[in-house]
Structure 1
Amino acid sequence: MDIDVLGALDVRENGISITPTAAKPRQVLALLALHADQTVPVAALIEELWGERPPRSARTTLQTYILQLRALIATALAGDGSDTSRTAKDVLVTLPGGYLLSGGGGKSDVREFERLSGLGYRAVDAGDHPGGARLLREALGLWSGPAFADVQGGVQLDMEIRRLEETRLCALDQRIEADLRLGRHREVLAELTVLVSRYRTHENLHGQFMLALHRSGRRGEALDVYQRLRTTLVRELGIEPSAALRRLQRSILMTGPERPLETTETPKRRLVPVG
């Protein structure tokens, strides 16, 4: 089974899609696919579908959705014709307290992203910035859009979507950091222009943008980025920029465009809500 969730949901058994078009069965498959080879509790699936006020028929209705998914799986298995002993119940398994979608050793874009980004982090930590940038770029290339872009999420999926977005941001942050250390300042400017507009309170992205602008001979614009961020942080969150970001601003103020900053390191990330 091949599973893609970093963009539109696409689950394939033997190359045949088993992704339903109806909204709620689609939600069920999305949660099972994200946690492939793990038991997803019935309670979690019910909360995903109906929130805190499920109908009395919730369990029965959920069982109906499971049957609909198994029907799609059975069709896919029949279309393959190579293993008649494997049934839909072997793929979507009923277990005490929940259900498990068996990946059968197939591809998962989430797992591949986690593998590649983990290798990328380790390469960067070891000082291999070219290798780290390459691995992180490959990991980020697995995203074709927001996670579960075509699924109407409930409580559980919304939480998972936020978690996945955070992992993507972390990988993006580290890839840009590696590119800056490799002197690719002009190459990342366009990307950072979009990112700081989208994540208006993300300090590390703003710090990277400031550094890239300064190293590209655009010192005034780098300082403008700091002032816009400070205004946003004070107005929306009631906080000042971090000490590390203030130090970067002072370094840019004191260093002319013809002289490099003493360090290429951007401020360490401070966890504030991203807007």
Structure 2
Amino acid sequence: MGVRLPFHILGTLRVVNDEVVDAPSAHKVKTLLATLLIRANQVVSADQLLLELWGENPPRRALAGLHVYVSQLRKFLSAALPGPERVLTRPPGYLIRVDSDEVDALVFRRLVHQGRNYVRAGRHEEASAAFAQALELSRESVLDDLREGGIVTRFATWVEELRLECTEMLVESDFTLGRHRQLVGFLHELVAEHPLHEAFHRQLMLALYRCDRRADALGVYQAARETITSELGLEPCRAMRELHHAILLGDDERLAV
């Protein structure tokens, strides 16, 4: 994207300053930083932080321990990113002060929002670019080593769901732009990575059909049906069944070729 983001939480937690990439060495300080960044510019109460760091059974002196970890985090950030104090005490807890273009998750969310707005305006070239930029920021598994508390776990789930939605919208915009041939390989990868995500099977079927590969499109349906039936005991969703029927009939009007 050409912009260097200081804070990264869409994969492995890291802090970037020029060419230096770093992170706190202590696990609980890393968890504290990730939690505050997830709630960037919002107060996270001490009770929420205790729950995130120690779960339902914190040690007797957990609050004192939290104060120590906050102090260590402030020291780490002042060395990694010199400037104004980032972590502020605000009753009933703490917040981290960041700009909207300093945290990859904030930029990710903004790009997806921009992409949706472009789609609504019929500006699919700009929508495709926004969705692609968003996905570039979120290719790693999110905070795998820090998913011990509810805030981090819920955030990771949210990112993974939004990433899938963003990918679907990118493909739909590229379909509108007539890029079905370029999408076939990408969609094969997505189907292999997400074998139970029916939207990607449906999109691959449509891309193949639009490339005059009707038999391959029908083969995708049969393979998807076998997977879904064996894994879930279900038939494919209505949208997939209707697309399969349209391909069998060669219904170009229904398939918008």
TM range (shorter): 0.7 to 0.9
Q: 1:189 is matched with which residue? A: 184
Q: CA RMSD in A?
A: 2.4
Residue 228 (str. 1) matches residue 232 (str. 2): no
Distance change >3 Å, CA 253–CA 14, structure 1 → 2: closer
Partner of 1:116: 111
CA distance in 2, matches of 1:189, 1:178: 14
Match of 2:52 among 27, 45, 48: 48
CA distance in 2, matches of 1:142, 1:221: 32
Is the CA contact 1:173–1:204 (under 8 Å) kept in the aligned structure 2?
yes
Residues 57-66 or 179-188, more deviating: 57-66
Partner of 1:273: none
Which residue of the partner structure matches residue 136 of structure 1?
Answer: 131
> Post-superposition shift, 1:14?
9.0
> CA separation of 1:125/1:74 partners in 2, compared to 1, >3 Å: closer, same or farther?
closer
In the TM superposition, what is the alpha-carbon distance from 1:172 to its structure 2 partner? 0.9
Is 1:262 equivalent to 2:254 in the alignment?
Answer: yes
* SS of match in other structure, 2:254: coil
- Pairing of 1:134-213 with structure 2 (within 5 A): 134-148=129-143, 151-155=145-149, 156-213=151-208
Could you tell me which amino acid in structure 2 is paired with residue 20 of structure 1?
A: P
Provide Cα deviations, 1:48-100, integer angstroms capped at 9, x if missing partner: 222223222322222221111112133346xx4xx6xx4xxx42112222210
Matched residue SS, 2:94: strand
SS in structure 2 of the partner of residue 253 of structure 1: helix
Structure 2 counterpart of 1:221, which letter? D
Determine helix, strand or coil for the equivalent of 1:100: strand
Task: Say whether residues 1:10 and 2:14 are aligned partners.
Answer: yes
- 1:91 partner letter: R
TM-score normalised by structure 2 residue count: 0.87
Q: Displacement of 1:110 after TM fit?
A: 1.4
The 1:42/1:15 distance shift into structure 2, 3 A limit, reads: farther
Q: How far 1:115 sits from its partner (Å)?
A: 1.5
Q: Percent identity over the alignment?
A: 35
TM-score by length of 1: 0.82
Whole-Å separation in 2 of the counterparts to 1:126 and 1:61: 51
| Structure 1, unaligned runs of 5 or more | 266-275
Residue equivalent to 2:77 = 73
Q: Report the equivalent of 1:269.
A: none
**Distance of 2:19 and 2:101 partners within structure 1:** 10
* Count of residues in correspondence between the two structures: 252
The structure carrying a bigger helix percent of its residues is: 2
